[in-house]
Each structure stands twice: as structure tokens, then as C-alpha cells.
Chain A
Amino acid sequence: MKTVKLATSVLALAAVAGAAQARDQIQIAGSSTVLPYATIVAEAFGENFDFPTPVVESGGSSAGLKKFCEGVGENTIDIANASRAIKESEVAACAENGVTEIIEVRIGYDGIVFASDINGNGFEFTPEDWYKALAAEVVVDGEVVANPYTKWSEVNPALPEQEIMAFIPGTKHGTREVFEEKVIIAGCEATGAMEVLTAAKGDEDAAEKACITLRSDNRAVDIDGDYTETLARISSNKDGIGVFGLAFFENNTDKLQVATMSGVTPSVETIASGDYPVSRPLFFYVKKANIELIPGLKDYAEFFVSDDMAGPDGPLAEYGLVSDPELAATQEAVAGEELMN
């Protein structure tokens, strides 16, 4: 009986202590692509400022934004990291819960690269190759047929004679959307398949859908885990070609070789200049209502986009973030707490 009494009083005490305490550390959640950058900044922030180190969760852009939109106040997260821009439906969901003032901060760009085992063949791709290799249906001699290709050399004689085997991000990843849009659909259009499909399916939406429907005969494998899983698949299947983030590739240059896309080698420079086609902006969203509640929130946002961090020579660029050429404008916007329109 004594233990029961003790436990109850301990719990009651705990509840009182908790209620009296205000949160003093920043809470962040969202994209796993932005996570490494956010942790690098959070760590440096904790070291150099008198505020506690922010707590950074991952879990994906959508999950992060959903949490972000749950409301304002101490019991909600302050910042959502996202590897895509916030959707209108999400802005509406936010507004419904009282999150009306959102500051959008673009931190830079992320390149998506295609890489294969370092001891294997080198590749020089174009979006057309990827479309023809991976789509469920392709156009051969003006006819829509099930994908007949089994080797890269059949897709494009310039490519090595190697089995088609691609490890692509699963549909829950933000990377998949970029891959579909910038590679598959671009390839679909460039091969002229789009026109044929539009004629065959009736309208353009259906044609686009047909473009991004990928083959299901185990030559295009969805990876629902992270890039470490893709890397593990490639090391056990040397014919495989994986889709990675630039930062991940740069940390594993001793195991992977990168393919060019339309003749351009992906690097921080070629992505910044826009020559390398497959890239996307990265964002974080700040809840303005929480700036007054949580000490250091604004300092963190400003520190993140400062030249020391997000600049072209900063630690984020070193890790693989493509620095935003318009960083100065972003810095001003954050300082002025400019809301997104």
C-alpha cells in the first residue's frame, strides 16, 4: 500500500512541476532531407548562443507541416522543415487552427543525383533514357507498348550494356515528386511520348499519369527507407543505379560514382547556376506567433540563413547544400519577419 501512495504523490508532484515550467528550447520537425542541415545549425546555435540547443525531429515534410499547423503556443512546434513549398491545403489547415502568420524561409537548393557502384560502368544519362528505361509503357514506332527494354544499351546505344536496375525513392518521399517531374515527365516530353499518349489516353492529365506510371517488373525498385538503404542495395547489387541527394553522395564518394545528366556533372556549382536540371528548393517555416513565446526562435532563423551558415563557404554548403544566390534577400525577410503571402 505504501508504494501505491508513494507513486501517486510522485505523479502529482510531477504534474505540478510540469505545469509550472515553460518551454525554453526551440522545437523543430519535418523533412528528413533538411534534417542534417538543421542539426548542423542547431548544434552551432547551441554552442555559440546563450540559448539551449533546439530539438530537431525528422519524419517527413508532410508530417512536419501537419504538426506545425496544429496550433500556436508552447505546446506546438515552432518550425517545420520542408523539402517542398507548403501547399495551399496546408496553409488552409494552418489557418483553421489559428496559425495565420507563417514566415517562409528558403535555405538553398538540394541536388538529386544518380549514382552507381564505383567499380562499375560510368553513365551519361538524359531524362529520355530514364523515361524509356523505367516507364511501364513506352512508345515504340508510334505505338504504345509495355516496356520491352532490359538493358541500358537498348534504351540508348551510347550507354553501357548493363541490366536496367534502378533504386528510386518511394512515393512517401518528397524526392520522388522531383524525380517524376524533372526526370520522367521531362523525358516523356522530350521523347515525344507525351503527344502520343495524349492522343491515346484522351487528355493531358491522363497522359502525364501514364508517363509517371513506372514498370513493376522489379527493374524500378521503390526504396521507402532512406539513402543508406539505397546504398546498401547498390553494394549488394552492383548493376543497380540509385537516386541520392547530393549531400549523401558527397559523403560517400569512395563507394559511388555519379552519372551526368544531359551532359552536366552534378555539383554545388552546376546546381547553383541551374545547369544541372534535377534540383529543388529547401525551406523551413517559422510560426510568427511563437517568436515572442520561445526565446531565441528568431535568432535561430537568422543564424540559419546567415552567411556563416548558409553562405557558399559555410558548413552547410560544405555538407552539400547548394547555397541560394538570393540569400541576402532571405536574410532581410527573416530580419523583418516578413510573412508569406
Chain B
Amino acid sequence: MTAKTSLLTPDARTKRRNAAEARFRLYGLIAVAVAVIALAGLLVSIFGNGSSAFRQTTLHLEIPLPEDKLDKSGTRDLEVMKKVTTIGYAKVLANALEAQLDAQGISVEGLKSKDISKFLSEEAPATLRNQVLEDPSLVGQKITLELLVGGRIDGYYKGRVTRETALLDKNVSTAQLDLADALKEMGLLHTSFNWGFVTAPDASEKRPEAAGLGVAIIGSFYMMIVVLALALPIGVATAVYLEEFAPKNRFTDIIEVNISNLAAVPSIVFGILGLAAFINFAGLPQSAPIVGGLVLTLMTLPRIIIPARAALKAVPPSIRAAALGVGASKMQSVFHHVLPLAAPGILTGMIIGLAQALGETAPLLLIGMVAFVRDYPGAPMEGFFDPATALPVQIYNWTQRADPAFVERASGAIIVLLIFLLAMNAVAILLRRKFERRW
């Protein structure tokens, strides 16, 4: 006699199967948890290090502009006034700060005159000089400016520099920190949102406080324009031809295999190709966004063609058959019916391809875009040929600098890049949601 079985009490085999399923779910949960923890760790470290890059300490300073220092001739002749370098302007600034301290009755123990001259950023004299050369009539008057303070003072308000580290650090003294606190109390020193970080060009290692992403953002933007203008038409044309018109033979098979292969080629290879083809052979300039854009186009093309073909394939054959059935030509059926229906998928692939290209550094290494560039590239079209860097390149450059303040800048730049990528991917998802059709 066999044991009685009931549907209500699971037998041993059912229990085993249920346990196996529960285990599998647990594995899945663990995998997701590991991924989430890794992502959270990454984001926490990036935001922890980088969010302070978006705030910057500035000093509100009243500066008398003495004629005997800035324009000895008294003629306000620009050519003569240009002879006074930023070194001369730095002295004017140091005097102005000293005068302000005297006027406000601030005295700090152990403050040397060198501490005062090093209190402000080295960018400040350049700001003042540009201001004066723009409007020479300012000489002899008093102007007030919001000037950047040195990177270490800025770091003091961001927790990077403390009084203990200042004792060991030869680039900052505790007297300078006392001075900063005194100025803060008077309301002259404030920390505010750092627009310069997204608009200013890169700066040398001696002035991390002035370094910004302006040139890199423009360079990345120009490259994306080039990629968009070239990769979209070429990629879509290739996909449409291969999917709709090309005969299926060995030749098209070879092309197909090659496209899939190219998508997997490491990006540095395209950089080598770009150096040989565009710079050495075609004679295009070094470090220019046009060359970067061309290289990234080559890299992105297969990554656009493959999803575009998938999108075309997903359009049901009945649509084509119906169009042909009512007398449309092959081309009409493709351009009036198939392509519009595949457009959301193609666009999504395009945007994801662009996002990949935006984050690429390796191919730019060889064409001279991994560089220190301080001048903004011009407006299009010449701007495409001016030197520029790109966002990921700027991150790479900053991580190599000695001054610890650049750690904050690099993380801040990663945040900016992440925001761009997130925005692009969000657009891709929205497009797909809005226009996707299911059959």
C-alpha cells in the first residue's frame, strides 16, 4: 500500500523543488545586492569627494589701482600698459589686501607679508589685469572685485585643510587660516556656487581653485556634433541598405561579420588609425575636435548600425507587403513606412552610441587631445579646428596632478560627466517609451 499523498501537504520532492527555487531567488537577490552596493560605494566616494568642487570661496576686495604702478607713462596706451605683467598686478593686490586689513583693524598674530600675498589665488592678478586692460580708464580709481582665494584656504572651508595639516604643510600657514576666519567674520569671505567650475578653462598645477571644465565641455560638445552629423546618416544609410536592399550573398555576409567585429575592436585602435589617416595623411591639426569627432565617428558607427538593423528587422514584414501591395515602390515602402516605424529604435541606439563616445578617452590620447588647453575653441566652423580637450580627458588629467585639491576637481568632473550621460540615457528611454510600437 502506498503512502497517502495530499495536495495540501507537499511531499519530499516538491519540498526540494521549492527549496531550489527559493535558493535561486536568493542568489539573484545577492547578485543584485552586490551590484547595488558596488554602485552605491562608487557614487558615495565620487559625490563625497566631488560635491565640494561646486562650491568656491571668494574674497570681496576693494582694490585701489595706483597709476604709478600700472601705467607709469600716464598715457593709458594699451601697448605700454601691457608691459606690466601679472607679477606687477599681484603686488597691487597684496597691497590692497594689506590696506583693507589695516582699515578694518584686523590684526593676526604671526602673519607675514608673504602670507598675505599668497592668500589670494594666482588667478586673481590675471583677472584684475584683464579687467584693467579692458577698461584702462579704471587706473587711478578704486574697484571692488570678487577674487578667488588660494586652493589651501578654499580647502580649509571644505574640510580638506585643517589646522593640524596646516602646521605640516609648507604651502599654507595657520596665520593664513586665522586671517581667513577673521575675514569670514567681517563678511568679506564667502563660499558660493562655483560657476567657474563649469565655465572656466583648465588651470595649471599652481591654481587648482581656478580650474574648470569650460574648454572640455565645448570640446566634447563639438565632437558630439561631428559624430552626430556623420554617424547618423552614414549609419542609418548602411543599416537600411543592408537590411532592405542588399542581396544576401557571401559579400554582404563578410560585411556583416566585419561590422560586428568592428564593434568589439578596442577604442585605442581607432586612435591609431585617426593619427595615421587624419593627422599624418590628411594634414588635419593636432588636438582638434574635428579629428576627435572623426575618430569617435569611426568608433561609434558599428555601434549604431547594429541596433539600427535590429530596429528595422523588428518592423513586421506585413507592413512592407501591404505597402508593396498597394503599389508603392520598394524605396517608398522603406522610407514612408519601415523607416518611420523603426525610428525610435534607431534614435535610441544613436543616443546610446553617442553616450559611449562621450565617455571615451583612449582614442583621443594619440591625436593630441589629452592636453593642457586653456584657450576656448572658437565658434563653429573654425572652432572645430582649434585645440580643445574633452570631459573624460579632463578627468584623466586632473587625477594625475600633485595638488590634493585636484582630487576634488576630478570627482566634480566625474559628476558633470555622469549628469550628461544620465541625461542622454534618459532621453533615449523617453523616446523609446513614447514612440515604441508593439505588434
Contact = CB atoms under 8 A, between A and B. Distances in A.
B230 interface: yes
A53 to B, nearest CB: 4
Contacts of A255: 404
A318 B371 CA distance: 23
Contact of A252 (B85, B205, B283, B404): B404
A47 interface: yes
A21 interface: yes
Given A7-B230, A55-B371, A247-B402, A118 B387 contact: no
B183 interface: no
Contacts of A7: 229-230, 232-234
A17 B385 contact: yes
Contact of A58 (B86, B230, B370, B374): B370
B86 A44 contact: yes
B400 interface: yes
- Residue among B203, B229, B371, B385 facing the most chain A CB atoms (10 A cut-off): B371
- Residue among B232, B286, B287 facing the most chain A CB atoms (10 A cut-off): B286
Nearest to A40: B204
A11 B373 CA distance: 25
Given A53-B375, A226-B400, A253-B168, A27 B86 contact: no
B205 A319 contact: yes
B375 A18 contact: no
A227 B205 CA distance: 14
Interface stretch (A31-39, A185-193, A203-211, A214-222): A31-39
A46 B287 contact: no
B370 A248 contact: no
Nearest to B205: A36
Contacts of B290: 14, 18
B140 interface: no
Nearest to A244: B402
Contacts of B82: 48, 50
B382 A75 contact: no
Interface in B351-388: 365, 368, 370-375, 381-382, 384-385, 387
Contacts of A318: 206
Interface in B165-222: 165-166, 168-171, 203-207
B206 A315 contact: yes
Contacts of A14: 290, 381, 384
B372 A21 contact: no
A36 B204 contact: yes
A59 interface: yes
Contacts of B246: none
B417 interface: no
A46 B230 contact: no
B399 interface: yes
Contact of B205 (A39, A47, A55): A39
Contacts of A3: 232-233
B436 interface: no
B168 A11 contact: no
Nearest to A25: B387
B374 A27 contact: no
Given A42-B374, A75-B279, A252 B402 contact: yes
29 contacts: A4-B237, A18-B384, A21-B382, A27-B286, A27-B287, A27-B368, A36-B205, A36-B402, A39-B204, A40-B206, A47-B85, A48-B129, A55-B286, A56-B372, A57-B372, A58-B400, A75-B279, A226-B400, A228-B399, A247-B402, A248-B402, A250-B171, A251-B402, A253-B169, A253-B171, A254-B165, A254-B166, A308-B85, A319-B205
List the 8 shortest-distance A-B pairs measured between CB atoms, nearest first: A254-B165, A53-B374, A56-B372, A39-B204, A57-B371, A251-B402, A36-B205, A254-B168
Given A7-B230, A47-B129, A75-B280, 5 more contacts: A7-B233, A17-B382, A36-B402, A75-B286, A315-B122
